[in-house]
Amino acid sequence: MNKAELISHVAEKSGITKTQANDTIDAITNAIIGTLKKGDKVTLVGFGTFSVSQRAARNGRNPQTGETIKIKASKVAKFKAGKEFTDKIAGGKKK
């Protein structure tokens, strides 16, 4: 499912226009990104937790030349699915 399909689905299921659904999805994603940028995490009970993890600097290898290269430390976004989310995907308990 891409963003356009998600917008259509949200609009249909919630009885709002596609423009309103797009604005809502944008507001949610911007709120999550803004919170992660500040170093905080976002927990949606029953769905999962978005967080930021620090990846240490390390040595890597250029696959074309085999030369050793230095990879800078970086921050990466992480998502850990909640139990209810995982259960629904795995076909476990249904509510």
pLDDT tens-digit series, residues 26-83: 999 999 999 999 999 999 999 999 999 999 999 999 999 999 999 999 999 999 999 9
Residue 52 lies in a domain: yes
Cα 9 to Cα 27: distance, rounded to the nearest angstrom = 17
Nearest to 52 by CA among 70, 33, 73: 33
Residue 55 lies in a domain: yes
- pLDDT at res. 12: 97
Cα 42 to Cα 55: distance, rounded to the nearest angstrom = 19
Q: What is the pLDDT of residues 14-42, one digit of tens each?
A: 999 999 999 999 999 999 999 999 999 99
Residue 74 lies in a domain: yes
Residue 95 lies in a domain: no
Residue 28 has which token pair? 């949610």
Number of domains within the chain: 1
Residue 84 lies in a domain: yes
> Across the strands, what pairs with 71?
58
Residue 94 lies in a domain: no
pLDDT of 95 above 70? no
Q: Can you give the residue range of the structural domain that contains 19?
A: 3-89
pLDDT band at 93 (very low <50, low <70, confident <90, very high): low
Rounded to two decimals, what is the model's pTM? 0.76
The domain that holds 53 is classified in CATH as 4.10.520.10
- DSSP per position, 46-93: TTEEEEEEEEPPEEEE-TTT--EEEE--EEEEEEEE-HHHHHHHTT--
Residue 19 lies in a domain: yes
